[in-house]
Amino acid sequence: MTLRELQEIIQATFGSKDARRGVEGTFMWFMEEVGELAAALRAGEDREHLRHEFADVLAWLATLANIAGVDLDEAVEQLYGSGCPKCRCCPCACVAAKP
């Protein structure tokens, strides 16, 4: 699935509710899912459970991006398409950054 397809599915499925809720309310939902991901990772849940929590966080990030008018595909392509955004190397050759 491309990032654009994901944003389109989220928009088609939840777009009208998302627009009514706005950025602040949506951020609260996003954070709830981030918390559930943290709990699942900490507890060492199985792959199926983790997959579910990662999907929810990503779906809510896509929702936020839809509301903010940001194309996630364009965003990651621009920043990470050539490897590390700082040293522009792949693998990253930064010594201090991102330890």
One of 19, 36, 38, 43 touching its own copies (CB under 8 A): 38
Closest to 57 in 3D by CA, of 24, 33, 39, 36 = 33
**CB count, 10 Å around CB of 7?**
21
Alpha carbon of residue 96 to chain centroid = 26
For residue 75, state whether it binds its own copies (rule: CB under 8 A): yes
Interacting residue ranges for its own copies, rule: CB under 8 A: 1-3, 6, 9-10, 12-17, 21, 23, 27, 29, 31, 34, 37-38, 41, 47, 50-52, 54-59, 61, 64-65, 68-81, 83-84, 89-92, 98-99
